[in-house]
Amino acid sequence: MGLFDKLTGTRRPAPGVPPRTAAELHAALLALNRPDAPYAIRAGHEEGADLLAEWRVLDPAWQSFFVRTQVSRVFQVRMRLVPEKSEVRSLDQQYEITWAGDTPSLTIAAKAQRGQMQTVSKRWTLGGNEADAPGTTETFTFNSADLKTPVQDIVLGAGWTWRGVITGRL
């Protein structure tokens, strides 16, 4: 791994792993979707990507989780599959969340960040005060790796390279 690879977050598959087809990789990435995951993988053609991985902030089933944690920024990973190179090009886009009661509103962060991002793990403990019943303390963590790692593992396991994009087009 070279210096530029480290800066872009590029990761390569283990030696000897044969690349699967783009259709197989696409299906494997979509298979990451499950009701108990706080993220979703979806088609990203409207955003200029093949796929998007994003937090389920607007999903009614997950909205109460994000309301309780009052997350202020989330990000989305845009992915383009490049079959001729067996490569997934990725670009992160960060969003600020404005909360109006229990309703989130997403806007592109005022200090726009483009490229590869990593949020530090944040931990919240809710409950445990006099107003709460005993035993209602909940601890939450929020880390960008919770979203990116499963996606990268699928890509690398399929014999493809994960290439982070910092400048230029996805």
Q: Confirm if 143 and 119 have CB atoms less than 8 A apart.
A: yes
pLDDT digits (tens, 9 = 90+) for 136-157: 555 555 677 888 999 999 999 9
Backbone φ/ψ region at 8: left (φ over 0), alpha (ψ -120 to 50), beta: alpha
Alpha helices in 31-133 (DSSP H): 60-69
What distances in angstroms separate CA 75 from CA 1, 148, 154, one per listed residue? 26, 10, 19
Q: Residue ranges of the domains in the chain?
A: 3-164
pLDDT of residue 29: 98
pLDDT digits (tens, 9 = 90+) for 18-72: 999 999 999 999 999 998 888 999 999 998 999 999 988 778 777 777 777 666 6
Q: Which residues pair with 125 in a beta bridge?
A: 139
What confidence tier does 78 reach under pLDDT thresholds 50, 70, 90? Answer: very high
What is the amino acid identity at position 6? K
Q: Which two tokens stand for residue 109?
A: 């962060």
CA angle in degrees (0–180, nearest 5) for 56-49-152: 65
Distance between CA atoms of 61 and 167, rounded to whole angstroms? Answer: 35
Q: Alpha-carbon dihedral of residues 165, 167, 168, 170, nearest 10 degrees? A: 20
Residues in the chain, how many? 170
- Summary mean pLDDT of the chain: 79
Q: Which residues pair with 98 in a beta bridge?
A: 105
pLDDT at 13 over 90: yes
pLDDT of residue 98: 72
In this prediction, residues 113-138 reach a mean pLDDT of: 51
Q: Confirm if 44 and 88 have CB atoms less than 8 A apart.
A: no
pLDDT at 121 over 60: no
